[in-house]
């Protein structure tokens, strides 16, 4: 009798445990479906497919042919194709690309992603921002979406679109690492965007877009130090607003004219000092600054009556001045505030 009672107790406990487990499973089932739905939703949110679909058709492959001069070991000069990428900016066929992609070439061909190919005309180029404008005669062109009012920020996710090594259009992804004040990094007057989205050979001149597929920059180059070595994960792009201004000037004038006073500066000095301004590190012999009496180690604090807060700001102010303009420059030398007048010259192209 005692054994029968123990057996019945075991059976009741087993059945009771089974019922509890079954109830938990039934109650939890709706949440499992919700969890699966959430995973699917999250998957859709982090996909950049829609951004790529919007932007990628307007990014073209560029093939330019130029002559390479012979050397001691190879006296004969040779003609070679150069790879690059570009961005269709409007329905008229204007394309932005990198200056170094089409510099010193005599034949340029543009290939669209739909298979169409066209000979391109070089409208103009600007080596200081590493930008160039091409034009093709074609209809029904895909145009890159732009959004000039959306401000880019460090940490934003970006996509670089181009044709690296001619393997076909490729998208690389990264974040904006830094922006603004990149004077001296690439010998450019443009405030460059720094990111870690990879730009390999052939992708220069392609599009840098945000996660909405909107153009925020023209891909430029990988970082190279003064010693010629590169840095992994350090790449640059010219911001869209700067590129747009250069493009309009090149279309209208065929060239970009900039002011020049013949100084080199320390781009980081103002970040280390309580007094805002820029430190002159070199003065070009025979240049406008030398003629005005400026010297190495002079500390510029104002140009034409306006305070100078950083090296990029000061150089941009000079660059945007018409050649022949007289600028009053205020500076410190040996702790003494001084003033001189510099006549702006045209920056050599």
- Residues taking part in catalysis: 100, 130, 204
Phi and psi, residue 274, nearest 5°? -75, -25
Q: How far apart are the first and last CA of the chain?
A: 109
* φ and ψ at residue 310, rounded to 5 degrees: -155, 165
CA 300 to each of CA 1, 125, 194, 325: distance values in angstroms, whole numbers, following the listed order? 106, 31, 27, 18
Structure tokens at 109: 């061909």
Q: Are 131 and 244 in contact (CB under 8 A)?
A: no
Say how far apart CA 308 and CA 343 lie, in whole Å.
Answer: 18
User: Number of C-alpha atoms within 13 angstroms, CB side, residue 237?
Assistant: 35
Using CB atoms within 10 A of its CB, is residue 103 exposed (0-12), middle (13-18) or buried (19+)?
middle
Which tokens sit at 327? Answer: 């600028």
Contacts of residue 236, defined as CB under 8 A and 6 or more positions apart, other chains included, come to: 182, 185, 186, 192, 193, 194, 195, 220, 221, 222, 223
Identify the residue whose tokens are 């840095």: 231
CA distance 301 to 298: 10
Pick from 169, 237, 243, 248: nearest CA to 209: 237
Q: CA angle, 59 as apex, 53 and 61 as ends, to 5°? A: 135
DSSP string, 233-266: EEEEEEEHHHHHHHHHHHHHHSS---EE--EEEE
């Amino acid at each position: 009798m005692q054994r029968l009672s123990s057996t019945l107790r075991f059976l009741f406990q087993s059945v009771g445990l089974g019922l509890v487990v079954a109830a938990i499973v039934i109650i939890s089932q709706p949440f499992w479906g919700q969890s699966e739905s959430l995973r699917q939703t999250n998957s859709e949110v982090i996909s950049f497919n829609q951004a790529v679909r919007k932007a990628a058709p307007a990014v073209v492959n560029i093939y330019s042919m130029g002559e390479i001069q012979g050397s001691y070991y190879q006296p004969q000069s040779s003609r070679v194709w150069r790879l690059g990428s570009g961005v269709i900016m409007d329905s008229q066929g204007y394309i932005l690309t990198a200056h170094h992609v089409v510099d010193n070439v005599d034949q340029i061909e543009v290939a669209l992603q739909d298979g169409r190919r066209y000979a391109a005309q070089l409208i103009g180029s600007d080596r200081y921002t590493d930008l160039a404008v091409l034009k093709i005669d074609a209809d029904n062109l895909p145009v890159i979406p732009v959004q000039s009012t959306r401000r880019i920020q460090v940490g934003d996710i970006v996509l670089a679109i181009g044709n690296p090594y001619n393997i076909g259009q490729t998208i690389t992804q990264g974040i904006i690492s830094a922006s603004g004040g990149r004077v001296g990094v690439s010998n450019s007057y443009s405030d460059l965007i720094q990111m870690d989205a990879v730009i390999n050979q052939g992708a220069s001149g392609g599009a840098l877009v945000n996660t909405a597929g909107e153009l925020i920059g023209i891909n430029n180059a990988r970082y190279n130090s003064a010693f010629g070595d590169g840095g992994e994960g350090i790449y640059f792009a010219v911001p869209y607003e700067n590129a747009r201004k250069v493009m309009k000037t090149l279309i209208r004038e065929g060239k970009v004219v900039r002011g020049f006073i013949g100084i080199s500066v320390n781009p980081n000095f103002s970040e280390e000092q309580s007094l805002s301004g820029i430190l002159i590190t070199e003065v070009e012999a025979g240049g406008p600054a030398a003629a005005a009496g400026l010297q190495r180690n002079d500390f510029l604090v104002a140009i034409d009556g306006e305070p100078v807060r950083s090296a990029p700001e000061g150089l941009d102010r000079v660059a945007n001045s018409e050649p022949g303009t007289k600028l009053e420059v205020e500076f410190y030398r040996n702790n003494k505030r001084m003033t001189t007048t510099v006549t702006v010259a045209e920056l050599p192209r």
